Amino acid sequence: DVKVTQSSRYLVKRTGEKVFLECVQDMDHENMFWYRQDPGLGLRLIYFSYDVKMKEKGDIPEGYSVSREKKERFSLILESASTNQTSMYLCASSLRGQADNSPLHFGNGTRLTVT
Amino acid sequence: GQNIDQPTEMTATEGAIVQINCTYQTSGFNGLFWYQQHAGEAPTFLSYNVLDGLEEKGRFSSFLSRSKGYSYLLLKELQMKDSASYLCAVRDGDYKLSFGAGTTVTVRA
């Protein structure tokens, strides 16, 4: 079974802090994603990566950056945390495939509260 | 932008059938996925459709009509453990999945 592990289940940070959310997958997947999930809005894509050192902006990249130095690890960085970044953050991975049924495999999420 | 619509909530009785509709307007189409998410847990993959028609997988079936931008997830013989959110997602390119807001299904005894 694919395992996607997020380093923290709950985090509380102060406004203006730099925050790192870490995600590791153990199935040699090429693609990795960061989503945030908010009530009534569903999952929104922040950034994704289809290869080491490659990154692409998703739908809501503002205020975030990412790092993918190794294939198995994808980090989300909040450069200066703000209260509107309080949310559930979900990391996911998938096999490379342009027209296949490769699903996303999600981690258990990190609930971040910014005060 | 992407527009994926599904009902917010549905309630059904144990043993019954529930159909969750999803309509989408996206810039491209490269497959539609359904996920199940129990409260406090990660979403888990349920089904995938890329061609028109019905895909059946045990008690769950998913249907797609690409010309209508429409899909549904059918849950049969409902069980209490089926109480969860169900997420419709469209892959509109090579990699990205765009999600609807999710439908919360409550199964009552």
Measured CA to CA, the distance from residue B17 to residue B32 in angstroms comes to: 21
How many whole angstroms separate alpha carbon A72 and alpha carbon A23?
8
CB within 8 Å: A31 and B95: yes
pLDDT score of B12: 96
% of chain A with per-residue pLDDT over 90: 77
The answer to whether the Cβ–Cβ distance between B44 and A109 falls below 8 Å is no
Q: Report the distance separating Cα A77 and Cα B106, nearest Å.
A: 36
User: How confident is the prediction for chain A on average, in pLDDT?
Assistant: 92
Query: CB A109 to CB B50 under 8 A?
Result: no
CB-closest option in B41, B95, B101 to A41: B101
Mean pLDDT for A68-86 is 97
Best mutation site among A2, A104, A108, A111 for testing chain B: the one with the most B CBs within 10 Å?
A: A104
Q: Is A65 an interface residue toward B (CB < 8 Å)?
A: no
Tens digit of each residue's pLDDT (9 = 90 or more) over A6-31: 989 999 999 999 999 999 999 899 99
Over residues A33-60, the pLDDT tens digits come to 999 999 888 899 999 998 898 999 999 9
Residues of A in contact with B100 (CB under 8 A): 42
* Residue A59 touches partner B, C-beta closer than 8 Å: yes
Element (H, E) at A7: none
B44 touches chain A (CB under 8 A): yes
In this complex, the residue of B42, B48, B100 whose CB is nearest that of residue A101 is: B48
Task: Specify whether the backbone of B69 is left (phi greater than 0), alpha (psi in -120 to 50) or beta.
Answer: left
User: So what's the pLDDT on residue B30?
Assistant: 87
CB atoms A50 and B95 under 8 Å: yes
Residues paired with B55 in a beta bridge: B62
* Min Cα separation B48/chain A (Å): 6
Per-residue pLDDT tens over the stretch B6-26: 999 999 999 999 999 999 998
Contact A43 B87 (CB under 8 A): yes
> Do B48 and A103 make contact, defined as CB atoms within 8 angstroms?
yes
Smallest Cβ–Cβ distance between A42 and the set B31, B33, B101 belongs to B101
Question: With a cut of 70, which residues of chain B have pLDDT below it?
Answer: 1
A1 touches chain B (CB under 8 A): no
Integer angstrom CA distances of residue B50 from A23, A71, B8, B9: 29, 28, 24, 26
- The percentage of residues in chain B with a pLDDT greater than 70, rounded to a whole number, is 99
Q: What's the token pair of residue A106?
A: 């999600």
